[in-house]
Structure 1
Amino acid sequence: MADDPKKRGTPDNDLISIKQEHEIRSWCAAFGCSREELLAAVAAVGHSAAKVRDYLNKNKNKK
């Protein structure tokens, strides 16, 4: 996601920034998860969007 939603250009869709609320909201919407689930996933596997997606998908099946 882009650091500044008003800037034009190619967003960085490979990494998740948890320092900006608009990115947290965007990633939660993209992954269909809560803020807490996203933050826990980033803490567990890092900022890679692909790794977070895999982590969330694996943990959805455990619920």
Structure 2
Amino acid sequence: MITAVVGVLGTRFAPVLSQRISARQRTEETRAAEQRRQFEERRTVYPAMNRPHASSTRSFGVGE
């Protein structure tokens, strides 16, 4: 009797559990894609921001 109840409950809840797992995975993939996009954006912006600073430190003899 217990085995039958567990089997029926497992059959009934399997689609719900599968849907929640899929939704969580999609959310994680979206978050990871957003983090990659932000990283790439920072990667392109930082050198542009540091260019003026780099030229001024060379004129002061810093790092030589």
What TM bracket, shorter-length normalisation?
A: under 0.3
Richer in helix (by share): 2
* TM-score, normalised via structure 1 length: 0.25
Give the greater-gyration-radius structure (CA): 2
The answer to which structure, 1 or 2, has the higher relative contact order (CA under 8 A, 6+ apart) is 1
